Structures are given as C-alpha cells and as structure tokens.
Structure 1
Amino acid sequence: MTLGKTQTDRAALCRGRLEAFVVRARRVEAHSLAADWDALVTLADAPYTVTARGNGEAHVRQEYPAEEVVESAAARVRPLLLEGDACSYLKALAAVGYFCRNRPHDTQWVKAARAEWRTRTDPNAPREGGYQVMIGDDAEGWTAELDDRKLATAWIYGDVVHHDTDLLEEADPFGLSERFRAAVPLVASVMVMAIELLNYIRALHTDSLLGLPAELFEREVVLTSTCWEQVMRVFAAPVGTPAPADALSPFSEH
C-alpha cells in the first residue's frame, strides 16, 4: 500500500520524534540511578519507614540518594518533561500511538501511559495520591501550603536546571530540604516511565513496525571514559604561519 503525502510526512515526523526520544531515554537509562531497576521503582514510590514510639508518636524516616546524584538525573530527564522539546515523552508516546493506531492492545497501552504521565508530572492534574505540606508561624500569623508535585517542580526548575524566581518565591518558606524530598520520587518516576517507553519502542522496532535505523539503539549516548590518550605527529612553524584550510589539507612546508 502506498501512503499519501500527508501520511508520509506524518510518519516521517513521528519517526524523527522517536529517534530523538530514544537517544535521550537511553541516556536516562545509562544513569547510575537506573543501574538497580528495583531500587529505582521503589524510589519512585517515595519509600519511608515508620517506627511507633508510643504516646501517639511515631518516627518517620526517608533516606534518598545524594542531591548531586538526583540533580544529574533531573538534568537528563528535563527535556522529556518539556512538550516543546523534540524528545518530549508525550511527543514520543503520540508517535507510538500513530504507528500502532490499528493495534488495539498498543493503543490502550499508550492511553494508560499518557494518563499516568499526566498524573505524575502535571502539577495541576487531579490525583488520589501524594501529600500536602502545611506550615505556619504563630507569632506572625501566616500559613502556607503546597503539594509534593509543586514542591518538586520548584526544586527542578528553581534550584536545579533553571532559576525560576516565581517558583522559588512560592516554595521558599518550605526550604530546600522539603523541595528536594518531593522531587526525588518525581525524578525517579519519570526515569521509570521513560525507560518503560524506551523498552516498548525497542519491542516495536524488533517487530519492524517503526522503521527506525538499527544504529539508533547502539550509538554512543554517554561517555564511558573521560581519559584521552592519542599518538600524533607534531609540527612547529613560525608565529603567524597559517593553519591548513581543512582537515585534509597538508601543512605548509614553510
């Protein structure tokens, strides 16, 4: 069957978005937080332990990775959160939906993945889980409250990958620690969803449904070594001697 020009253009657009997503998602997959899949999934659920102390009191403990580690993960997932970026999670998901539009099972998976993404990442989306932080000052008589998604967003876009002054001003009364505590499960959940979508794309690619280049899944996306050793020829010339015009041009004999 020959596709019309509109369909061909649409397929090319979707394929380009999938290629951009695969490169970014593989970089997310290569992050140290994703080395232990079970631990990453657990982190996405904001784990904590509660120890009863009696008299109606309980000790609650949460232990997360170092901020620097989560910060580097946040930098890797940030483009997936931005719908305007080429590698946006939602753009990639829509592209999968396009190629699988005649496959009911895949269409249902895409729909469920989109709903989960919105619930976890959109600060204004309704949801049943999460928590609310309320603070106040008896002496000055002020109160404030924010939910975990807005606190997490403030850490990502205020403390880390941008310096959004509006977000920081709103979340500042809660402190850096509270913002970070809220952000860790969000960053982990975005990593989980991105890697799950990446694996889904891999399966569809194996079934020859997407037409993606095979090298896309093999090309280098992270550095495994930051030590460089090279053997090279050394040339010396008087100051002012012009450099070669390009890499294939010989050095001047003068």
Structure 2
Amino acid sequence: MFVQDLPPEEQVESAAARVRPLLLEKEVVFYGTVFKAIGFFLRGDGHAGRGEHFERLRAAWRAIDPRGTGLHAYNMQVAPLQDGQPEAAASSVADNQLAFAWLYGDVVHHDLERLAATGIAGVRERYRAAAPLVCRVMIHTVSTLRFVELLASNGLLPVPRAALDAGVVVTDPLMRQHARVFVADPDVDPPRLPVPGQAPGAGWTLLLPPTGPRTADQVPDVPGPTAPTGSSD
C-alpha cells in the first residue's frame, strides 16, 4: 500500500495564498521580475558560485508552469470498468494539471475550464497533487529570500534593511488594548473630535467611569487564565 500523509487542506490553502503572487506576472513580486532585477545587479560579478546558484534557482522557478500539462511526479489514468475490464481507453491527467486545478478551481477562483479538465479525478486527487506543489513553491520562496539576503549582505543588491526586518505574520492573535471609551449624545451634532493625546472636550462623556480608588487614568490589567473575566467597573 502506498500512503501519503498530507497536511490539513486549510494549512496548504494558507501557504498557497502567501506564495501565489510569486507566480503571477502582474504582481510586483513575480519571480521573473525578481530574477530580472537580481540579474541586472549581478552583471559583471565574477563569483562563479553566485552565478551558478542564480541560474539553478531561476531554473527551478521556471519549472513551475501554471498552464503546463506535463507531469512532475506522476500521471493519473482513469477508465470505467465493466466486469473488471476497462470499457474504454483510459483518460489521463498529469499531476501539474491536478495541482493548479485545485489552486485555481477549488481555492482562489472557480476556473471551470481547469475543473472540467480534471473532473475525472475530483477534489481529493487535485489536493493530493497540489500539496507537494505548494511545498515546492514554498521551498523556492525561502531559497530566493536567503539568496537575496546573501547578496544584500555583500553589498551586491540594494535592499532596504526595513524590507528584510518588516513583520509579515501575526504570531499572537490575542489582541490587547487598554483604552477609555467616550460617548456623545446621538441626538445632537457630534462634538469636535479630540486631538490625539489630549482629553476630549465638552460633549464627550466617559463610558463606565471608574469606581473606588481607581482614577480615570488607571486601567485594570488583563485577567489571568484563572481570574474572573468580569470587571468591577
């Protein structure tokens, strides 16, 4: 028995959404545009290793063909059976077609042409082909980033430091924000909005004024996991 243990589909969908712009010619991060720019700055660079790595990496990207009908790893054949024998010639579809049909037919668009061309397989087989493809594109993306970082560190590529340091993922989805909320009378013209950093003027009323020893400038800490979730304010 041949067994494939693939990641959950929603994880691959998320990854595909991240790397998909590198495959689209209209996007500024399209791999072809990126390598054209890298090639420009590497003109005259006599380092053989950098040149060879550049060509290998670009060739790996070019092998990712969203419209390709050739296979990467396998070809799928399906034929209807009658009494255990094929009734007709088998229909054939390559894994590359299945993979991009999943991406553009099942996930980000509803490409009827791609879905019709892979209809013999169904979404399960399309996903089976897509998961390795998305992983391959992820590997190429990370490899390209590392190459860009290497060139930038050697002064061969003018990449702003901020572009390499900018955050691109949310690591903590629990949003915490200490604030005081002010409301105004909805039946009259809204009062002037306060200047950032200054207290609201006339027409604004503090919602749920603090009680007890607290002052208006004190905000309670976020409750711990075992503390009550209510508030005395």
TM-score interval, normalised by the smaller of the two chains:
0.7 to 0.9
- The answer to whether the 8 A contact 1:244-1:250 is kept is no
| Residue equivalent to 1:91 | 33
Cα deviations by residue, 1:125-163 (Å, 9 ceiling, x for unpaired): 867x52111112245746421101011000011111111
Give the aligned residue type for 1:75: A
Give the 3-state SS of the residue equivalent to 1:146 in structure 2. strand
The separation in 1 between residues aligned to 2:132 and 2:171, in whole angstroms, is 27
Which of 183, 187, 190 is the aligned partner of 1:241? 190
Give the aligned residue type for 2:185: P
- The answer to whether the 8 A contact 1:121-1:186 is kept is no
**In angstroms, what is the RMSD of aligned CA positions?**
2.4
Which of 93, 102, 105 is the aligned partner of 1:146? 93
The separation in 1 between residues aligned to 2:144 and 2:57, in whole angstroms, is 8
Give the 3-state SS of the residue equivalent to 2:62 in structure 1. helix
| Residue equivalent to 1:113 | 57
Task: Sort the Cα spacing of 1:242 and 1:173 in 2 relative to 1 into closer, same or farther, 3 A.
Answer: farther
- Residue 134 (str. 1) matches residue 77 (str. 2): yes
Number of residue pairs the alignment of both structures matches: 195
Q: Which has the larger radius of gyration?
A: 2
Structure 1 gap segments, 5+ residues each: 1-58
After superposition, residues 186-205 of structure 1 pair within 5 angstroms as: 186-205=133-152
After superposition, residues 206-221 of structure 1 pair within 5 angstroms as: 206-221=153-168
With CA pairs under 8 Å and 6+ residues apart, which has the higher RCO, 1 or 2? 1
- The answer to whether the 8 A contact 1:133-1:147 is kept is yes
Give the 3-state SS of the residue equivalent to 2:92 in structure 1. strand
Give the 3-state SS of the residue equivalent to 1:145 in structure 2. strand
| Residue equivalent to 1:66 | 8
Give the aligned residue type for 2:13: E
| Residue equivalent to 1:178 | 125
The separation in 1 between residues aligned to 2:17 and 2:70, in whole angstroms, is 26
Give the aligned residue type for 2:148: I
Cα deviations by residue, 1:76-129 (Å, 9 ceiling, x for unpaired): 1111111211111221122111111212533332222222222233543867x5
Give the 3-state SS of the residue equivalent to 1:172 in structure 2. coil
The separation in 1 between residues aligned to 2:193 and 2:179, in whole angstroms, is 16
List structure 1 segments (4+ residues) > 6 angstroms apart after TM superposition: none
After superposition, residues 43-82 of structure 1 pair within 5 angstroms as: 59-82=1-24
Which of 77, 102, 126 is the aligned partner of 2:44? 102
Give the aligned residue type for 1:100: L
Deviation at 1:252, TM superposition (A): 4.4
- The answer to whether the 8 A contact 2:70-2:94 is kept is no
Structure with bigger helix share is: 1
